Amino acid sequence: MSSDLQTTPSVIGGDGGTSFSCFAETDGKTLQEIEVWAGRYCLKAISVRLTNDTTPTTFGSTKRSQWADDKVSELSYKKFTFNPGERITSLSIWSNGLFDDTFQRRLRPRGVEIKYDFTKSSISTRVGAICFKTDHDREFDFGMYSFVRNPQAKVRMTVGSGICLGVRGRAGWDIDSLGFVFLKPVVGAKLVAVEYTTLTADTPTISEEALDALQERNLGTSSQPWIFSGSKVVNTRSLWLPSLNTGLTGYLAPRVEAKVPRVVVTTSGKFEWSLSTDIVKTDSFEISSTEELRWNETDISQPTESFLLLASTGRGTISVPFTGDVEVRLENGSQFRYKVSGEYSGLSFSPARIHRTINTNPSTLATEDNNASSSSQNQDENQTSTPDATEVTPGSNDGPGNDIMFDAFEVMPQPPQRSENDVVAKVSLGMTSIRRIAGRSELLQSCGFVIYTVECGPSYDDMLEWVKTNITQKANVTISEMWVLDDRNYLVTVDSEKARRVVFMRSPYYYNQKMVLILPWRPDYGIQDMQPKLIPTWVNIHGVGPLFSEEGEELLAAIGPVLGSEKDCRRTARSPHLRGCVLLDIKQPQPSRLEISAGETKVDLLITYDKLPDVCFACHKRGHPETL
């Protein structure tokens, strides 16, 4: 490494032994561990290990038989391991000074103080001690234990950036001289030239997610324009995680300038991975951002034409190895690069795309109407051929009031005349009216739910009072309207989709100790095949804390469809665990443990349930779960 990049170490001690050095060049390594053996009069051996090295390098002699000047059996030894990113703030090295204070006083004239330059080998023959402090409030102070450390033999060293790259000096059986090598002050670093070694276009980690849908039918007799547009904000993330043993990277916290994997839509409509055309610049190894997915399409629908539009996006999660260069810039204008590798993980969404399904055959739009018309026509024909049918002739006096009856029918509106094959009733409305009708359906699908009672339900007034007590007040939502569908079903709408989700997450509900189901309204809603077994239940996953993130939703989804989490109900968590409301089939056994695996690593978590209902589906009452 050039002297422009590293400090020039002062080597303290004598000229004996042979020279040695062990420090990082431009490969990103730093000093990871240092071991020191000390004798009575000097340091005997030193061992250093750099990051990424599996074995240490030792200088001097650690063998007791070679310590000729030490006549004691007890050896002195000390070890220090640097934490990731730990810098040296001060460093001092003592030479052994050739002799101690008592011997020096015998040589110098009485009353005369003599100062020696202990950096010169003519005065110092060995290294006596080492002392350094770090920015983690730790200290390493170790050395000879018979000679008294002479204050004049203490030499303060320049530490530069505080990032120690290694050591150099001279050694034989003892450590004759020693110095530490530091990187000069750093002003910045960035990760560049990033490559994803195993990324391919068809990496199978992409799934399609629906964003919005629009279903329309032109009920008029003329062409009608339509527009399908909207937007949704999604969260994306990118994380470059270097290998943990690349020492210099832990000190520098480099910025990132790299292309990132994105989910794109090909011309054939397929989702695949592709590198972004622009270079993303971040201030750290991790970046989280939001993107707005927009879709917009307009066209003209023909009479009797119906169509279904679906806006969707490709959601991709990825984890692939990466390689790159870390470019380091120093305060003096010098710079160098070193290689780094690690794991990249990211979450990406493709631009929104629209699927269009158009049906121009009017007969397929009203199959049920066809059947109903045919049945009605057959009944009319049967009634016409009935011998008991009586014709009423204008002006006849077959009975009292017949003339009045005839006049009434004559002025009443008559049904439209249709041919035998004309089985579709038609009406012409403006787009405002059509959108109002469609908006009503959309409101019910997003904000409406059905209250289902397992036995004949209460009256409208009693159910309205129950709704006010159990839903309006406890769930803190506003009820817009309530309708009686039949003797067991009540249709209720609230002011928002979020409010409906809160109602679901307050389940289960009971009326007179009997279960009440809250079900989302849908256009094809029916009760003939419904079974009261799917119950919204609060679940606790222990050991991960209140994790309000996509990973938390994935953990909950392993138990059942997720209706929401605590963050949907309140700003702060009330539980130290991951909590969410999921839809459970309580006729099935529920899991008590959750196993998370990543490669060979597995984590086992405890699952508990809040008020999991014990329900008998024979009598629909609680209290005897053995009949489940």
pLDDT tens-digit series, residues 271-311: 899 999 889 888 888 888 899 999 998 888 888 888 888 88
Helix, strand, coil percentages in the chain from 3-state DSSP, rounded to 5: 15, 40, 40
Domains 12-184 and 187-359 share a fold: no
Q: Is the pLDDT of residue 134 over 90?
A: yes
Percent of the chain with pLDDT over 70: 70
In 3D, which of 34, 27, 60 has the Cα closest to residue 49?
A: 34
The rounded Cα 195 to chain-centroid distance in angstroms is 23
Domain 187-359 homologous superfamily, CATH: Proaerolysin, chain A, domain 3 (2.170.15.10)
Higher pLDDT, 347 or 253: 347
The SS3 assignment for 382 reads helix
Q: Helices then strands (H, E): number in the chain?
A: 8, 33
Percentage of the chain exceeding pLDDT 90: 21
For residue 400, cis peptide bond before it (omega within 30 degrees of 0): no
**How far is 360 from 363, CA to CA, in rounded Å?**
9
Supply the pLDDT for residue 193: 92
Most confident of 94-98, 170-174, 622-626: 170-174
**For the residues 249-276, what does the mean pLDDT come to?**
88
Instruction: Give the up-direction half-sphere exposure of residue 591: CA atoms within 13 A in the CB hemisphere.
Output: 17
Burial-class residue 396 by CB neighbours within 10 Å (0-12, 13-18, 19+). Answer: exposed
Average pLDDT over residues 474-491: 78
Beta strand pairing call for 489-494 and 448-453? antiparallel
Mean pLDDT of the chain: 75
SS3 state of residue 34: strand
User: Residue 194, Cβ neighbours under 10 Å: how many?
Assistant: 21
Cis status, amide bond into 185, omega within 30 of 0: no
CATH hierarchy code of domain 12-184: 2.100.10.30
Between CA 29 and CA 164 the distance in angstroms is 9
What is the spatial distance between Cα 304 and Cα 336, in angstroms, rounded to a whole number? Answer: 71
**pTM summary value:** 0.50
pLDDT in tens, 28-63: 889 999 999 998 888 999 999 998 888 899 999 887
Q: Which CATH architecture has domain 431-520?
A: 2-Layer Sandwich (3.30)
Return the pLDDT at 385. Answer: 42
Cα gap 371→478, rounded to integer Å? 41
**pLDDT of 368 higher than 50:** no
Torsion, CA 182, CA 184, CA 187, CA 192, rounded to 10: -70
What token pair was written down for 532?
């009261």
Residue 128: Cβ within 10 Å count: 27
> Residue 80: beta bridge partners?
34
- In this prediction, residue 169 carries a pLDDT of 94
Q: What is the pLDDT of residue 141?
A: 93
The per-residue pLDDT for 619 is 53
pLDDT at residue 12 is higher than 90: no
Q: In the structure, what pLDDT confidence band is assigned to residue 79 with cuts at 50, 70 and 90?
A: very high
Decide if 237 contacts 286 (C-beta within 8 A): yes
Q: Given this model, what pLDDT does residue 417 score?
A: 57
Strand partners, 258: 280
pLDDT band for 371, please (50, 70, 90 cuts). Answer: very low
For residues 260 and 283, give the distance between their C-alpha atoms in angstroms, rounded to a whole number: 15
Q: DSSP secondary-structure letter at 471?
A: I
> What are the structural domain ranges in the chain?
12-184, 187-359, 431-520, 534-627
Q: Residues 568-604: pLDDT tens digits?
A: 554 444 567 788 888 777 667 778 888 887 777 777 7
Taking the C-alpha atoms of residue 312 and residue 228, their distance in angstroms, rounded to an integer, is 13
Which stretches does DSSP call E strand in 31-157? 31-38, 43-50, 57-60, 76-81, 88-95, 127-134, 139-143, 154-156
Between 607 and 167, the more confident residue is: 167
Q: How far apart are CA 151 and CA 165, in angstroms?
A: 27
Q: Tokens for 594?
A: 């959750």
At 468 the three-state DSSP class reads: helix
Q: Please tell me whether residue 301 adopts helix, strand or coil conformation.
A: strand
Angle between helices 431-447 and 497-505 (to 10 degrees): 20
| pLDDT tens, position by position, 80-98 | 999 988 999 999 999 886 5
Amino acid identity, residue 257? E
CB neighbours of 552 closer than 8 A, spacing ≥ 6?
Answer: 544, 565, 578, 580
Say what the pLDDT of residue 456 is. 63
Rounded Cα distance, 38 and 41, in Å: 8
Closest CA to 129 of 159, 81, 97, 101: 97
- Please report the pLDDT score of residue 378 as a whole number: 47
Structure tokens, 392? 């009423």
Quick one: pLDDT at residue 422? 55
pLDDT at 463 over 60: yes
Indicate if the pLDDT at residue 214 is higher than 90: no
Is the pLDDT at 122 greater than 70? The verdict is no
Q: Read off the pLDDT of residues 401-451 as tens digits, 9 standing for 90 and up.
A: 333 333 333 344 445 555 655 555 555 555 555 555 655 666 677 778 888
Confidence check: pLDDT of 615 > 80: no
- Considering only 10-14, 395-399, 535-539, which range has the smallest mean pLDDT? 395-399
Find the radius of gyration of the CA atoms of the chain.
42
The pLDDT of residue 586: 64
What's the whole-number mean pLDDT along residues 305-324? 89
As a whole number of angstroms, the distance between CA 12 and CA 91 comes to 12
| pLDDT interval class at 496 (50, 70, 90) | confident
For 81, counting Cβ atoms within 10 Å of its Cβ (0-12 exposed, 13-18 middle, 19+ buried), the class is exposed
**What secondary structure letter does DSSP report for 472?**
I
Please check whether residue 193 is in contact with residue 39, taking contact to mean a CB–CB distance below 8 angstroms: no
What's the pLDDT score for residue 102? 44
pLDDT digits (tens, 9 = 90+) for 499-523: 888 887 777 777 777 777 777 777 6
Lowest mean pLDDT among 365-369, 472-476, 584-588: 365-369
Between CA 278 and CA 288 the distance in angstroms is 17
Strand-pair partners of 76: 38
As given in the structure block, the two tokens for residue 400 are: 């009292």
Tell me the average pLDDT across 338-346: 90
Is residue 182 classed exposed, middle or buried when 0-12, 13-18 and 19+ CB atoms within 10 A define those classes?
buried
Q: Is the pLDDT of residue 628 over 50?
A: no
Question: Encoding tokens for residue 628?
Answer: 């489940």
Residue 337 CB partners (closer than 8 Å, separation 6+): 26, 325, 326, 327, 328
Average pLDDT over residues 540-545: 76
